[in-house]
Structure 1
Amino acid sequence: MDTLMGLLPFIAMFAIMWFFLIRPAQKRQKETKSMQSQLKRGDQVITIGGIHGSIDAVDELTVYLKVADGTTLRFDRQAVGRVTEQA
């Protein structure tokens, strides 16, 4: 019984860490993965490096981002940080 009472603070600390740190991070990661899987041509996006552009083409692993007239850059899907405007 004493060992159980001794472990109680550690169990409580783990539960608090789970609800305030781990769980929200997992939720954010799931939302980001979902957003990246739904990318389509014409979406206005910002990469994790801060480059703004419009998606010109998308394939399984790659996104082609039009950043200026005649300039298209190739990125991994995971490099897209957020969508600013849907097509």
Structure 2
Amino acid sequence: MLLFGQPQGAPGGEAGKSNYSSLLFLLVLIVVFYLFFIRPQVKKTKDQKNFQESLAKGDNVITVGGIHGKILEVHETSVTIDTGGGAKLRVEKSALSMGTTAGQKDKK
């Protein structure tokens, strides 16, 4: 029968190895978490900011809601887009999908 207050294993060497392996496992877990979750999110945020700063008049864009348009005016935090048929919308820069004008600028 195993009791909680009862020491397990031989005193000395084995307990020290266990502590170091636990610490090593924790450090590896932190590094993996950083590489797979934190770093990609920081990169995505940086790319989104660069995209918003590079918007210019005449760029074709798609909003996150799926509305296609052409930029008529660029403001500090928003843009005015022409959706065709004389309709103009003013939307926040953060509401524009990143994959649209970036691909078109590479083709030019």
TM surpasses 0.5 = yes
List, as ranges, runs of 4+ consecutive aligned residues in structure 1 with deviation greater than 2 Å.
1-5, 82-87
- The structure with the largest alpha-carbon Rg is 2
Name the residue aligned to 2:39.
23
The alignment of Structure 1 onto Structure 2 pairs a total of residues equal to: 87
Q: Secondary structure at the match of 1:64?
A: strand
1:58 maps to 74
Unmatched segments (≥5 aa) in structure 1: none
Does residue 75 of structure 1 match 2:104? no
* Secondary structure, aligned partner of 1:34: helix
Cα deviation for residue 19 of structure 1 reads: 1.0
State how far apart, in whole Å, the 1-side matches of 2:53 and 2:87 are.
24
Give the Cα separation in 2 of the matches to 1:14 and 1:49. 36
Q: Percent identity?
A: 34
Give unpaired runs (5+ residues) of structure 2: 1-15
Deviation for aligned residue 1:70: 1.0
Q: From the two aligned structures, give the one with the greater strand fraction.
A: 1
Q: Cα RMSD between the aligned structures?
A: 1.8
Q: TM-score, normalised by structure 1?
A: 0.86
Helix, strand or coil: the match of 2:57?
coil
Q: How many angstroms apart in 1 are the aligned matches of 2:30 and 2:82?
A: 46
